[in-house]
Amino acid sequence: DTASQDANRDDAARHDGGDASDDGLPAPIMDLDAAQRTPVARLPGFLSEAEVDAIHAFRDDVAAACGTLAKEGDALSGDATWLTTYLSTDLSFQARFPELIDRMLRAARDADRDLFGDVAPGVALRPRVVEYHSVARGGALRHRDHYDSGSVFTVDVMLARPGVDFSGGDFVAAGAESCPFEAVGDAIIFVSHKYHHVEPVARGRRRVLVVEFWRGAERACGHRCERAAGPCGFVPVRARMEASLSE
């Protein structure tokens, strides 16, 4: 975790924050009302099964060194029903899958040109966060007016087999099909300020990769960073515990 903190400092020195303020998030690329009128782009078969398997294996290898967030608890067991692993910790995902990050950004720019109104032509965009979401029965993103504040484009890729590995868990947004993911490897792209939510998972485990692109610095911190420029200062819970024990 000390390495994570060093990476955060190095990250701030390496990357220009673009249009970001040193105090927080970049201004929205478009207003909320306009964002709701944009469609959700669907890309069937964006990843091959081999690429999906590689991402699962990578997550298993690096999870212990990445930031995590567990939320919602099962009423009976108390276990978290939604676990997020921040694969962008120390830029690990970007180092392992640079071509995939580039492909996602190209797809987002194509969707912007063809569907979103060309709202970010020529704007320098970088990965804000790479998240691996594992959602068990009962897990949901319930807030219907949820949006990815501070980012420009969001890319979601299905890493499980709908109807086989899980049921329920539909992605819902204005202008989206009721269940835009039909198969493992399918992707969707949307303007980050578009409202969206996820219905409760009814059975099994839903796994999705989420990458947000923003006008801030490429972040190596083990969470979804709220500072688009300058040092982040985020210290994972484990690092704080280890520091406390060493005192």
Q: What is the pLDDT of residues 68-94, one digit of tens each?
A: 999 866 555 557 899 999 999 999 999
Average pLDDT, the chain: 85
Q: What pLDDT band is residue 7 in, cutting at 50, 70 and 90?
A: very low
Tokens of 197: 């939510």
Q: In one letter, which amino acid is 215?
A: R
- What does residue 182 show for φ and ψ, rounded to 5 degrees? -100, -25
**Which residues, at least 6 apart from 15, have a Cβ–Cβ distance to it below 8 Å?**
126, 217, 218
Model pTM score: 0.84
Q: What pLDDT band is residue 59 in, cutting at 50, 70 and 90?
A: very high
pLDDT at 123 exceeding the cut of 90 = yes
Tokens of 223: 């969470």
Calculate Rg over the CA atoms of the chain.
18
d(CA 107, CA 101): 10
Q: What is the pLDDT of residues 168-181, one digit of tens each?
A: 999 999 777 667 79
Measured over the CA atoms of residue 18, residue 150, residue 6 and residue 63, the dihedral's sign is negative
